[in-house]
Copies of this chain bind each other. A is one copy, B any other.
Amino acid sequence: MVVKAHASTLDEVARLAGVSKATASRAINGRSKVSAKAQAAVLDAVRELGYTPNGAARSLVMQRTGSVAVILPESDERVFSDPFFARMLHAVARALRERDLQLVLLLAQPGDESRMLLYLRGRYVDGAIVASHHRDDRLAEHLSDLGLPCVFIGTPWLGADRVSVVDSDNAGAAAQAVRVLVESGRRRIAAIAGPRDMRAGHDRLAGWRQELEAAGLDSSRVAYGDFTEHSGTTACAELLDADGDIDGIFAASDLMALGAMRELEARGLRVPDDVAIVGYDDLGVAERTQPPLTTLRNPIGQMVTEAVRLLTETIDQGGRGAPRHVVFVPELVRRDTV
């Protein structure tokens, strides 16, 4: 490959191969019939020149960029501390790779989403997946206005009816957790909830409360965390200080469950003998706690696969088509903490 000052153009390739731009283009993209001879000549020229199509030019005429954005409307600390995102991105990357799409990650600082919006309106990507873990700043409305194909993972607080959404049944799963605890004979069941301004936190708490009330049990034992291990420890201490009689805990994340278990251990309380506990997520930590944690498996893989499917479908339809909503049901994973 020759070292060149600037990237080579299709024109140069065509000239070197002794054919027209049209033929060169066809040979490269392989969509149309080209004589074996021309084919070879073009490919040689491409190699010789180290040619790669100019993305801007190609996008301009094709009205396609071949890349989709994943938008994380979160502070970077959150993004880089919650295993949820790692798992999700991993799945997204895989799904997009299969469809030959490039993943472009857009970190939207909570305040300055304007520049990201500008980027999206510039049509630098064909579509977007928004992991709306957080109460977001009208992102759903903005994207909907924009007319850019998009799918939300997790229901946004605002404008959920205007965009496609893939979610899991957080409330139903929490109810399931409560049922397991009740079946094992627990009666004084507390919740370590997630942040109130996050959909998942909100819905899981609601499910816990509803199921508890349906069972005629007290639903006043609540402490809030932020999904981190440390906050789980603090919340658990708070709970125990207020009421030493607690015999069951539902934690809205495995990390918080882990933190809670540390606190229980520090106080000499045994799991599950003295206090049973159910977590949420099953992203790896759950298997490694001592004892292994009973939890709800957040179906991230399924959600992502479906999200990418919906998105590419929408893109292929040229952005037309009504928003669609899909909900997956988390599965209870029985281990040894109940």
Residue A67 interfacial (CB < 8 Å): yes
User: In the complex, what's the smallest C-beta–C-beta distance from A61 to chain B, in angstroms?
Assistant: 9
Mark each residue of chain A from 70 to 87: 1 if its CB lies under 8 Å from any CB of chain B, else 0: 000000110111010110
Question: Using Cβ atoms and an 8 Å threshold, which residues of chain B touch A81?
Answer: 86
Question: Using Cβ atoms and an 8 Å threshold, which residues of chain B touch A6?
Answer: 147
Question: Using Cβ atoms and an 8 Å threshold, which residues of chain B touch A147?
Answer: 3-7
Asked, given contacts A7-B121, A60-B57, A122-B53, whether A90 binds B76 with beta carbons under 8 Å apart, the answer is: yes
Q: Is the CB of A80 within 8 A of B83?
A: yes
Question: Using Cβ atoms and an 8 Å threshold, which residues of chain B touch A118?
Answer: 52, 102
Q: Is the CB of B93 within 8 A of A107?
A: yes
Size of the A side of the interface (Cβ < 8 Å), in residues, is: 49
CB within 8 A of A86: which of B55, B76, B121?
B76
Q: Which residue of B lies closest to A75 (CB)?
A: B90
CB within 8 A of A115: which of B54, B80, B85, B102?
B102
Q: Is the CB of B124 within 8 A of A55?
A: yes
Q: Is the CB of B56 within 8 A of A76?
A: no
Q: Is the CB of B60 within 8 A of A54?
A: yes
